[in-house]
Structure 1
Amino acid sequence: MLTVGQAATALGVTARTLKYYEELNLVVPARSGGHYRMYTQADLATFGRILRMRSLGFSIAAITEMLKRPRRMVEAGKSRMNEEDLQAVREALSSQLETLRERTAQVRRELREAEKLEAQIAHDLQYIEQRLRGVPADELLAERAVKAHKASSR
């Protein structure tokens, strides 16, 4: 069993990196009687796998899905995920991607609505500021009516 500092040194990363992956529940170390994190060789192997996948550009979502599946010996001395596991990862990531695309579309709609509201409030604020500078209300209301008419005729 290794402490967080010893594990970080063994892996060539910071203790914060290990804690980050723990916060994501990718590795859950044992705790000592004093509640210190204690890492096993299996934890170090998992961290090594995570670090390799990150260095290859895999997202945390993909890494999370891949860690759920066991690696199997498929080539001489090499372990990989089999086709069934790859299919499961693909389905999980496709589902996550679709959910994110739907959420992105919703956020874009909300942003367009917020931008419209922002423009309306800025326009109203401009009216109030001009009134406070002494511009007659009738003059400003006439200008607004002309602008509104032009906008509605487009």
Structure 2
Amino acid sequence: MAHVPDTITVREAAERLGVTPRTLKYYEELGIVVPVRSEGRYRLYQAADLEKLSRVLRMRSLGFSLTTITAMIQKPFEPSEDGGRPRLSNASLKELKETLVKQLDALDTRVAQVRRELKDAATMQAQLRRDIDYVERRLTGESLESVLEERRREQPAKAVLPATRKRPEK
């Protein structure tokens, strides 16, 4: 395999970073890093790729989601005032926050929808249990009238609305 200068294979990169080769391939699928390819189409990682992957792994260890990490990695960094590691600019942070808030809103909407679906499913589940009970009781020889009478008693009492009075016309 032809080796691009100053690169390492996916197996070597995974070993250095303490992850599996599949993890590195998954990060590539997410667009976090795009390794160069050898003539034989093997993934080859450069020093910049390893630095980016190290940053991703640090952020994962701090509890950031891959969604957030992917968004952060795509934002421009600026040098820090104290000479430390480059940081996201305030503009990038604001943009990131907007993106994350939109994602959270979408998830909140989905959670509410799933809760409604669960409530509907629980109602249907209760109805099916009552129907199975009816069929089982009929199969054991209980009379139709007694089973139906019990079902009527189990029905929640329906609210009786007071009759509306008409006002006398003037």
TM-score by length of 1: 0.91
The size of the alignment, in residue pairs, is: 153
- For residues 102 and 151 of structure 1, what CA distance do their matches in structure 2 show? 34
- For residues 71 and 143 of structure 2, what CA distance do their matches in structure 1 show? 66
Correspondence for 1:24 among 1, 23, 30: 30
* Identity in percent: 48
Code of the aligned partner of 1:142: E
- For residues 144 and 42 of structure 2, what CA distance do their matches in structure 1 show? 70
The answer to whether residue 99 in structure 2 is matched with residue 92 in structure 1 is yes
**Radius of gyration: which is bigger?**
2
Secondary structure, aligned partner of 2:79: strand
Pairwise CA distance, 1:66: 0.4
Counterparts in 2 of 1:115-154, with a 5 A limit? 115-148=122-155, 150-152=156-158
Code of the aligned partner of 2:115: R
Q: What runs of 5+ residues in structure 1 fail to find an aligned partner?
A: none
Partner deviation per Cα, 1:54-107 (whole Å, 9 max, x = no partner) = 111111121111011122102213210111111011110011111110111111
Question: What is the root-mean-square deviation in Å for CA atoms of aligned residues?
Answer: 1.7
- For residues 141 and 57 of structure 1, what CA distance do their matches in structure 2 show? 57
Pairwise CA distance, 1:151: 4.4
TM-score by length of 2: 0.83
- For residues 117 and 24 of structure 2, what CA distance do their matches in structure 1 show? 37
- Compare the two structures and name the one with the higher helix fraction: 1
Code of the aligned partner of 1:35: R
Code of the aligned partner of 1:104: V
